[in-house]
Chain A
Amino acid sequence: DSGVTQTPKHLITATGQRVTLRCSPRSGDLSVYWYQQSLDQGLQFLIQYYNGEERAKGNILERFSAQQFPDLHSELNLSSLELGDSALYFCASSVGEGGFYGYTFGSGTRLTVV
């Protein structure tokens, strides 16, 4: 157990629907990062939050949004889902803002859009 908790582990939903993925960072970590891992795109950085504030943005679609709450857990909202959104979504956390010592990853949420 890495200390980063992601729920749910698996999610199957239909196109056009909206889902929320949840992440609890490792105790003491203030930064949360979201990544999408698909077969054809590899591991893509989506967004980072540090202590409740957005810090960096990657290749995140407008249909996707995220936030980090005062208790430091984070949610990634995916709306108007398309077949191509099927992927493994990872959350990672780090102590500081910079991720200088690397991340601690959760075990991911497998999203299947049918």
Chain B
Amino acid sequence: AQTVTQSQPEMSVQEAETVTLSCTYDTSESDYYLFWYKQPPSRQMILVIRQEAYKQQNATENRFSVNFQKAAKSFSLKISDSQLGDAAMYFCAYRSKSNQFYFGTGTSLTVIP
């Protein structure tokens, strides 16, 4: 079974600085999708960014970008120019070929003014 590991339960970053959240996964599949979701205190789960495994180019969405290392099974999220509104729990997720999603345990990000 696929597993998703987020080894950083908590992270903090100074406002306007850059932070990287780590995610690794275990799979024997070659074709899959990876996602980062954000869960602010409102508890709403919000899609931040997605990456198709067959694409070598790293996905980017404004201040959010990923570093996708397929061979290493690593999918980290970089947040540039951190803002107070970025404070949230961040979840890494893997979508398998059988359309099942597996989520990591989350990283709680604090943004320090």
A interface, by DSSP: helix, strand, loop or mixed?
Answer: strand
Query: A97 near B99 (CB under 8 angstroms)?
Result: yes
Query: A103 near B105 (CB under 8 angstroms)?
Result: no
**B contact residues vs A (CB 8 Å cutoff):** 33, 35, 37, 42-47, 50, 52, 91, 95, 98-106
Binds B, one of A13-21, A42-50, A75-83: A42-50
Whether A102 contacts B99 in the complex (CB less than 8 A), given A43-B91, A107-B42, comes out as no
Cα separation A8 to B43 with both chains bound (whole Å): 15
Query: Which of B46, B47, B50, B103 is in CB contact (< 8 Å) with A43?
Result: B103
Most chain A Cβ neighbours within 10 Å, of B33, B100, B105: B100
Closest to A110 in B: B43
A-B contact pairs, 17 of them (CB 8 A): A2-B46, A42-B103, A45-B102, A45-B103, A56-B99, A56-B100, A90-B45, A97-B99, A98-B95, A99-B95, A100-B95, A102-B37, A103-B101, A105-B44, A105-B45, A105-B46, A107-B44
Whether A42 contacts B43 in the complex (CB less than 8 A), given A48-B99, A56-B98, A97-B99, comes out as no
Query: Which of B43, B101, B103 is in CB contact (< 8 Å) with A108?
Result: B43
Instruction: Give the residues from 82 to 100 in chain A that come closer than 8 angstroms, CB to CB, to chain B.
Output: 88, 90, 92, 97-100
> How many residues belonging to A are interface residues under a CB distance threshold of 8 Å?
24
Cα separation A90 to B35 with both chains bound (whole Å): 17
Whether A42 contacts B99 in the complex (CB less than 8 A), given A105-B46, A107-B43, A107-B44, comes out as no
Q: Top 4 closest A-B pairs, CB basis?
A: A105-B45, A43-B103, A102-B47, A42-B105
Closest to A92 in B: B45
Q: Which residues of A contact B91 (CB under 8 A)?
A: 43
Query: Which of A33, A90, A103, A108 is in CB contact (< 8 Å) with B47?
Result: A103
Query: A45 near B100 (CB under 8 angstroms)?
Result: yes
Q: Which residues of B contact A100 (CB under 8 A)?
A: 33, 52, 95
